[in-house]
Amino acid sequence: MQKNVIETLMGALVLLVAGGFLVFAYEGSQLHVEDGYTVSGRFSNASGIALGSDIRIGGIKIGVVSDMKLDPSSYDAVVSMQIGGSTKLPKDSSAAIVSSGLLGEKFIQITPGGGDAMLADGGKIDYTQSAVNIEELIGKFVFSGGGVDKDKKAPESGSTATP
């Protein structure tokens, strides 16, 4: 009987420590924004972006991606962004999906506009730029001949070119 009590207490202690780690991981991940407002943007290609992806201005995190949906009529990705309340965005701001390096994580980069009117809760960012597909760009470069003009012949080695 004594052995069962010790095993039960050890199991409870392990569960308590695991719960503490989960709370610590959630708080440290910054996936939530306590106060703020939500804006949305339409992207033709939102690859690399997921729930919880960063929203940044000048490299500083100002929010997270809170929802992603597909518009059934235009087939655009509609991305909802939770922006922190201390950051006000002008209505003419633009959003682009960029990468933090050649193969780094993707995030949404906001470029603030110059207008006086600010986006309110539920506002829309009209100027968006979709993600660049690196594999597609490399494929175009490789299969296009790498920029070599096929109509012009290169001078033969050993011959001198005269104008």
Range of the domain at 127: 33-134
The Cα 2–Cα 137 span in angstroms is 68
E strands along 23-99, which residues? 36-43, 54-57, 60-70, 77-84, 94-99
**Structural domains counted in the chain:** 2
Task: Identify whether residues 25 and 37 lie together within a single domain.
Answer: no
pTM more than 0.75: no
Length of the chain: 163
Give me the residue label for tokens 């011959």. Answer: 159
Q: Is residue 41 part of a domain?
A: yes
- Residue 156 pLDDT: 59
Task: Identify whether residues 6 and 44 lie together within a single domain.
Answer: no
Please report, in tens digits, the pLDDT of each residue of the chain (163 residues total): 667 888 898 999 999 999 998 888 777 665 555 678 999 999 998 888 999 899 999 989 999 999 999 999 999 999 999 998 888 999 999 999 988 877 778 899 999 998 888 888 889 999 998 887 777 778 888 887 655 555 655 555 555 555 5
Q: Is residue 105 part of a domain?
A: yes
Task: Identify whether residues 85 and 37 lie together within a single domain.
Answer: yes
Task: Identify whether residues 47 and 110 lie together within a single domain.
Answer: yes
Q: Is residue 157 part of a domain?
A: no
Q: Is residue 155 part of a domain?
A: no
